[in-house]
Amino acid sequence: MSDQKADLARIGSVMEDPSAQAIARTYADALLDAASAGGTESALEELGSFVDDVLLKVAGLHEIFNSLVIGRDEKIRLIDRVIAPRASELVTNFLRVLARHGRLDLLPAILREARVRDEIRRGRRRIQVISARPLDAQAESRIRTRLAESLPFEPILETQVDPSLLGGIVIRVGDTVYDSSLAMRIKQLRERLKQRSLHEIQSGRDRFGTPEGD
């Protein structure tokens, strides 16, 4: 067994399935570890081409990979017969491992996770920037520069448009959200006005409820 195949074989069966994303991340890390010696960039490019140009376009292949009726041995034979002659040893072994543990259906999710994890290992992370209107190149550049100055990694901006924000932007870094949108500021203003009104009502009750001379 090659070193790459040994690295991939260490994944093992996942006994519990807390979430598909967590499982995909486990396999993604294993793929990156196995590919580190030969270059993760080429491995991700090859696997991406396989998913985009073969798995999702060859009639019936995606259904076979996702099928619960077709056994793992038959899927491995398919990989050996159809994919192995055209793919690298690393990608072929990785597909065999996924087939062996019944995770071929997670291949697109694993690829997405592997790309993100590789960026993290390279000191880069994706950041979602949501705005009410599309950002021009100059605005994107300013945001990227300010984020790079304040974050310990190189930001990769993923821009989205959400007209309900009215104005301003929302920045999502992992599970943390920085909301400076106009909609949020209006909501906060309403909340402050509501709290002030409640305070004034309570103060009035206290004042009128206190006997004179107390």
pLDDT bin (cut points 50, 70, 90) of residue 98 is very high
- With 70 as the cut, is the pLDDT of residue 89 above it? yes
Cβ atoms 44, 114 nearer than 8 A: yes
Q: Mark whether 97 and 166 lie in a shared domain.
A: no
Residue 167 to residue 164: CA distance in whole angstroms: 8
6-17 residue pLDDT tens = 555 544 444 345
- Can you tell me the mean pLDDT for 54-60? 80
Q: Whole domain around residue 154: which residue ranges?
A: 125-204
Q: Choose one of 120, 137, 162: the last residue of a domain.
A: 120
pLDDT at 180: 76
127-167 residue pLDDT tens = 899 988 898 999 899 989 988 888 888 888 999 998 888 88
Q: Mark whether 104 and 146 lie in a shared domain.
A: no
| Confidence (pTM) | 0.62
Q: Over the chain, what is the mean pLDDT?
A: 81
Residue 128: strand pairing partners: 158, 172
Q: Mark whether 116 and 192 lie in a shared domain.
A: no
In a domain, 147, yes or no: yes
7-13 — which CB contacts under 8 Å span 24+ positions?
A: 7/33, 7/34, 8/34, 8/93, 8/94, 8/97, 9/97, 11/97, 11/101, 12/101, 13/101
In a domain, 211, yes or no: no
Q: Mark whether 80 and 162 lie in a shared domain.
A: no
Span of 90-104, 116-130, 157-171, 182-196 with lowest mean pLDDT: 182-196
At 73, which CATH number? 1.10.520
- Can you tell me the mean pLDDT for 158-181? 84
Cβ atoms 182, 166 nearer than 8 A: yes
- With 70 as the cut, is the pLDDT of residue 202 above it? no
